[in-house]
Amino acid sequence: MASNQASLLLQKQLRDLCRNPVDGFSAGLVDETNVFEWSVSVIGPPDTLYEGGFFSAIMSFPPNYPVSPPTVRFTSEMWHPNVYPDGKVCISILHPPGDDPNGYELASERWSPVHTVESIVLSIISMLSSPNDESPANVEAAKEWRDNRNEFRKKVARCVRRSQEMEDFLVAANS
């Protein structure tokens, strides 16, 4: 029953995004037969190190969505303190609801069923604009962000360039 309600809610959120697109990202299904796996493209926000990048991610929803949060994993190369080396995004609103067992986050900062795909992606765009190096997913990136900003910039610039090359390749392949 929960899975059916989740499916209906996800279909509605996808329809709403298609009707009212949001600047900075687009979303669609990975496979038309599975509403629980979304392909998301995030455009690097203006005036950030990620500006001009086209970053792809997969958003996977649990059967009990929106009670539990989805997971988001970049499939594009991403160098960021709040993105694990495997691409998984680590931000508060994607953490299970309730108190943080590690005491880093307030319950109010964690997942709540009122969040939508739009609010999640806007939080990811915000994360790209201002990394949180206090509780990093990628310790090496966080250390570089703090101690060697030039090297950090170079790695991000390479990620942006590669994402642009991949976007150009995909556009050419679909022409």
Of 80, 86, 109, 85, the residue nearest 97 (C-alpha): 109
CA separation for the pair 114, 102 (Å, rounded) = 24
Residue 90 annotated as catalytic:
yes
Q: Which two tokens stand for residue 85?
A: 């080396």
Buried b (16+ CB within 10 A) or exposed e, 22-53: eebbebeeeeeeebbebebbbbbbeebbbebb
Burial category of 18 from C-beta neighbours within 10 Å (exposed 0-12, middle 13-18, buried 19 and up): exposed
- Pick the catalytic residue from 17, 40, 90, 120: 90
CA separation for the pair 68, 3 (Å, rounded) = 12
Q: Which two tokens stand for residue 163?
A: 């994402």
Q: Which residues are catalytic?
A: 90
